[in-house]
Amino acid sequence: MFDTLSDRLSGIFGKLRGKGKLTDADIDATAREIRLALLEADVALPVVKAFIASLRERARGAEVSQALNPAQQIIKIVNEELIQVLGGEGRRLQFAKQPPTVIMLAGLQGSGKTTLAGKLSRWLKNQGHQPLLVACDLQRPNAVNQLQVLAQRAGVDVYAPQPGNGVGDPVQVARDSIEHAKRTAKDIVIVDTAGRLGIDAEMMQQAADIRAAVDPDEVIFVIDAMVGQDAVRTAEAFRDGVGITGVVLSKLDGDARGGAALSVRHVTGQPILFASTGEKLEDFDVFHPDRMAGRILDMGDLLTLIEQAEQAFDEDQKEKMTNKLLGGEQFTLEDFLDQLIAVRRMGPIANIIGMMPGMGQLKGQLDELDDSHFDRVTAIIRSMTPGERTNPKIINGSRRLRIANGSGVTVMDVNQLLNRFTDAQKMMKQMSGMMGLPGGRRSATKSSKNKRKGAKGGGNRPRVGGRPGGMPGGFPGGMPQLPPGLDPGALGGGQGVPPGFKLPKLDFNKLSKPPKDDNR
């Protein structure tokens, strides 16, 4: 399910990589492509229209975060819109104040109602409830038997008309089942109703009559996620004919394009409560819109990473850095420390990098990236006076010794940090020079082109991006750029704000074991 849609979306996001800023034309082109991708996945037109309108508005609006690059901004918005389309925060099953809670299942024949009755009863039983399954599908000869088999597997009781009493009246069976549940101390009644292959008036009337007879707390519409465009018509018919309070998506394990799953919430106006993902009783879970959206985007932990980056790099900090760059102001060790702290706020560095798709192969190198190196650099800078942080040139031999002693490192460590910092500062100056030129945006784009070249090892200076060897360079698999400072290939410079991200060049592994007499 969703494979094609996931691939299409990944391709669309990939095209935004390397862009410095989202123009209106970028937004239009991206919105058009996402629209097509959704339509091809069989998502209903009204849902697609609403989705795209909101996407456009948000991408253009002021809410766009400075902490994210264009690809990430679009991923974030698409993710949030998908969650919205799938039901936002989701809703739990409603229970009656006075048991038994009555849950009625409705849907087309073969949509998976009977299977769901078994799954739901098992799930509720595991939560400590005493469910009773009620066989009101008296049309299909084998339906009662199927329910009995499922009930036995789930370890719950079934209420069904006695054999030999004719076909029976499903409405009467439903009504009687409530009394039976009360007598046998069952706190939940699950009523399985008959389905037809198509929507017909008689079937709708029967379902409506059962509803009137048992006054259910939930009327769950079971929809086969494989049905594609038909989903909308069916959902509307049940919404209007029976009235529903919730939806269950069945057969989510299939290889359909997923349109029904994305349309049904919008069309019915009711939440998706559960997802059914196979024929076995345990292939069933509460529906989580955010997890489903994550699955569709197939971005793994990247979404978590985006969230963390947004939290770690607050707007003030971003603005301060950008102003510094544009104003040609000196980048200081104080700024460097701020950025280090922001990166550290996001968690262990190996985890951060490990969360990026395609980075698994670099596991060995990540393990070497010990957080203590970062902590040591932080300690060195913290041992400096404010004056030293602003103007490292004044850090002479005796100051270096004092800083080394204060931070528990060697003078050589301090020397190395200062040398690398001076390099970073020079590069910052070049960058701000480029950005300050008229048509600065073009210059910045040029620099990011250099950056990509650089990642392959052939770029001209200034190379602010990937470093072959040492830290991993570039992003395999068309992965969008990370927020400034989190691009492992460009820890020396993300988009626009390269400052503290020269980190890997510090070669932290060497920050140890100094010669004793080095006290310059």
Ligand X SMILES: Nc1nc2c(ncn2[C@@H]2O[C@H](COP(=O)(O)OP(=O)(O)OP(=O)(O)O)[C@@H](O)[C@H]2O)c(=O)[nH]1
Which residues are annotated binding-site positions?
107-114, 192-196, 250-253
83: CB partners within 8 A, 6+ apart = 289, 290, 293
Q: Cβ-count burial of 84 within 10 angstroms (0-12 exposed, 13-18 middle, 19+ buried)? A: middle
3-state SS class at 247: strand
CB of residue 76 vs ligand X: minimum separation in angstroms? 31
From candidates 6, 73, 101, 111, binder to ligand X by CB under 6 A: 111
From candidates 41, 67, 93, 143, binder to ligand X by CB under 6 A: 143
CB of residue 278 vs ligand X: minimum separation in angstroms? 5
- Show the tokens assigned to 308: 């963390």
d(CA 164, CA 168): 9
Give which of 6, 8, 132, 85 is closest to 287, Cα–Cα. Answer: 85
**In terms of DSSP H, where are the helices of 247-332?**
259-268, 289-297, 302-312, 315-327
Position 211 contacts ligand X (CB under 6 A)? no
392: CB partners within 8 A, 6+ apart = 332, 333, 384, 418, 421, 422
Position 113 contacts ligand X (CB under 6 A)? yes
CB of residue 282 vs ligand X: minimum separation in angstroms? 11
Give which of 257, 195, 264 is closest to 226, Cα–Cα. Answer: 257
d(CA 375, CA 137): 66
What is the x/- site pattern for ligand X, positions 301-340, by CB under 6 A?
A: ----------------------------------------
Q: Cβ-count burial of 497 within 10 angstroms (0-12 exposed, 13-18 middle, 19+ buried)? A: buried
User: How do strand 284-286 and strand 272-276 relate by DSSP bridges?
Assistant: antiparallel
- Show the tokens assigned to 27: 């937004």
User: What are the φ and ψ backbone dihedral angles of 38, each rounded to 5 degrees?
Assistant: -70, -40
For ligand X, the binding residues in 469-498 under the rule CB under 6 A are none
From candidates 73, 101, 177, 250, binder to ligand X by CB under 6 A: 250
Position 110 contacts ligand X (CB under 6 A)? yes
Neighbours of 517 (CB within 10 A): 7
Among 23-31, 248-256, 411-419, 484-492, which window interacts with ligand X (CB under 6 A)?
248-256
From candidates 6, 270, 276, 410, binder to ligand X by CB under 6 A: 276
- Show the tokens assigned to 16: 């935004």
25: CB partners within 8 A, 6+ apart = none
Among 16-24, 210-218, 249-257, 498-506, which window interacts with ligand X (CB under 6 A)?
249-257
Among residues 114 and 425, whose Cβ is nearest to ligand X?
A: 114
Count the residues of the shown chain that bind ligand X, applying the rule CB under 6 A. 20
3-state SS class at 131: strand
Among 111-119, 151-159, 414-422, 499-507, which window interacts with ligand X (CB under 6 A)?
111-119
Among 106-114, 239-247, 295-303, 316-324, which window interacts with ligand X (CB under 6 A)?
106-114
From candidates 57, 240, 279, 319, binder to ligand X by CB under 6 A: 279
Among residues 107 and 492, whose Cβ is nearest to ligand X?
A: 107
CB of residue 242 vs ligand X: minimum separation in angstroms? 14
Among residues 89 and 279, whose Cβ is nearest to ligand X?
A: 279
CB of residue 1 vs ligand X: minimum separation in angstroms? 11
Among residues 281 and 341, whose Cβ is nearest to ligand X?
A: 281
What is the x/- site pattern for ligand X, positions 339-378, by CB under 6 A?
A: ----------------------------------------
d(CA 91, CA 40): 29
Position 383 contacts ligand X (CB under 6 A)? no
From candidates 10, 101, 114, 450, binder to ligand X by CB under 6 A: 114
CB burial of 210-249 (b: ≥16 within 10 Å; e: otherwise) equals: bbebbebbbbbbbbbbbbbebbbebbebbbebbebbbbbb
Among 31-39, 102-110, 409-417, 452-460, which window interacts with ligand X (CB under 6 A)?
102-110
From candidates 253, 310, 375, 518, binder to ligand X by CB under 6 A: 253
d(CA 418, CA 424): 10
CB of residue 142 vs ligand X: minimum separation in angstroms? 8
CB of residue 107 vs ligand X: minimum separation in angstroms? 6
Query: Count of residues for the chain?
Result: 520
Q: Cβ-count burial of 486 within 10 angstroms (0-12 exposed, 13-18 middle, 19+ buried)? A: buried
In the complex, residue closest to ligand X by CB: 195
Among 6-14, 273-281, 355-363, 446-454, which window interacts with ligand X (CB under 6 A)?
273-281
Position 99 contacts ligand X (CB under 6 A)? no
- Show the tokens assigned to 63: 């809410």
Residues 253/282, Cβ–Cβ less than 8 Å: no
Position 1 contacts ligand X (CB under 6 A)? no
From candidates 6, 79, 268, 277, binder to ligand X by CB under 6 A: 277
From candidates 112, 131, 466, 500, binder to ligand X by CB under 6 A: 112
Among residues 160 and 411, whose Cβ is nearest to ligand X?
A: 160
Position 115 contacts ligand X (CB under 6 A)? yes
From candidates 20, 87, 100, 107, binder to ligand X by CB under 6 A: 107
Query: With the CA atoms of 449, 16, 492 and 457 taken in that order, what torsion angle do they form, in degrees rounded to the nearest 10?
Result: -40
Judged by the rule CB under 6 A, the positions of this chain that interact with ligand X are 107, 109-115, 137, 140, 143, 195, 250-251, 253, 276-279, 283
